[in-house]
Amino acid sequence: MEHKQEHESTIKVKVSDLTQHLICPRLVYFSAREHEQHGIAKGKERSVIESILLKELAFNLHTIRDTKDEEDDVKRAIEDIVDGVEWIYKEELKGVEKNFFEAVKTDFIRSQSMNTENNEWLWKVKNENGVLKLEKAHGYEREHTMVSEKLSLSGSVDKLIRAGEEVIPCVIKTGKCPEYSVWKSDRVQLAAYAMLIEEEFETTVKRGFVEYIRTAEFRESQIRRRDKALALQILKRVKRIKGGVFPEKGENAPCDNCVFEEMCETKKTLLSKLFGTILYSVY
């Protein structure tokens, strides 16, 4: 038992592993086995590129806020933001054809420009309340990396705001926004970052923010004990999986177009044969 605990304590986990586990524990298993994800899953190229463009937009909202409301100014600001994306995200975009990327980028600029025409998205971006007000007043550090030897956990938070003695984690999400509050997985992610911040800065993190950039919703989330407890529980599960335990699929695992689908089914078949042979031999 003592040897097992020592082994698990040496296994390194990233905050992204926790969020992967919430999607499907087997994503953690295959990633830990050093199976490379060969590019972007077939059929998902456009959505992945759009997510990357949206994330970069979230990192540069100040340039949009500082422009006048004229359509040409906003469009020019968006064009400038996405112009260098292929260099910033070179690894993530590996294998994507140049012409296809440029086509998606053009469509994205057009759609975002139309998005700002109705003024709702633009109004939310220019409305300096909550996290946007904090970002304007204090700025933020992009992708701040933290490591905890005690937890064997590391992570790179999208935005880190230092407002006086308060240190606030912010994560950017490009998917759907919940009707209220933030998604469970986002609460767990914020809780994990909060624990890393608390150790590094010797402080207490009381809140974090989730920026749902697609709809320009900026949600504050309190860091609760139950979210920290869940994050630590998942951390233990991830360590066991990385240590060799093959987990069950997640209840809502997105198996369609998963880059590990073939390996996942092969592993399942091999285990079924193995246990079937054992059972037959015992019988």
Q: What is the mean pLDDT of residues 175-200?
A: 96
What share of the chain in percent tops pLDDT 70? 85
Residue 209 has pLDDT above 90, yes or no: yes
Is 267 within a domain? no
Rounded average pLDDT over 73-93: 88
> How far apart (Å, rounded) are the C-alpha atoms in residues 22 and 6?
25
- Same domain for 54 and 120, yes or no, is yes
Mean pLDDT of the chain: 86
Range of the domain at 68: 45-126
Which one-letter amino acid corresponds to residue 156?
Answer: S
Task: List the structure tokens of 115.
Answer: 């998005």
At 3-52, the pLDDT tens digits run: 454 455 678 999 999 999 999 999 999 988 865 555 566 667 899 999 99
d(CA 200, CA 213) in angstroms, rounded, equals: 28
Give the model's pLDDT for residue 194.
98
Average pLDDT over residues 229-247: 95
103 versus 1: the higher-pLDDT residue is 103
pLDDT of residue 283: 36
- 53 shares its domain with 173: no
Q: Does residue 6 sit within a domain?
A: no
CATH number of the domain encompassing residue 187:
3.40.1350
pLDDT computed for residue 113 by the predictor: 76
DSSP for 37-98 reads --SSPTT-HHHHHHHHHHHHHHHTHHHHHTS-S-HHHHHHHHHHHHTTHHHHTTTTTTT--H
- pLDDT cut 90: percent of the chain above it: 59
Look at the chain and report how many structural domains it folds into: 2
Is the domain of 155 the same as that of 223?
A: yes
User: What pLDDT is attached to residue 77?
Assistant: 87
152 shares its domain with 222: yes
For residue 107, tell me if it sits in a domain: yes
pTM: 0.88
- Is residue 251 one of the residues assigned to a domain? no
Q: 144 with 157: CB under 8 angstroms?
A: yes
**Is residue 115 domain-shared with residue 145, that is, in the same domain?**
no
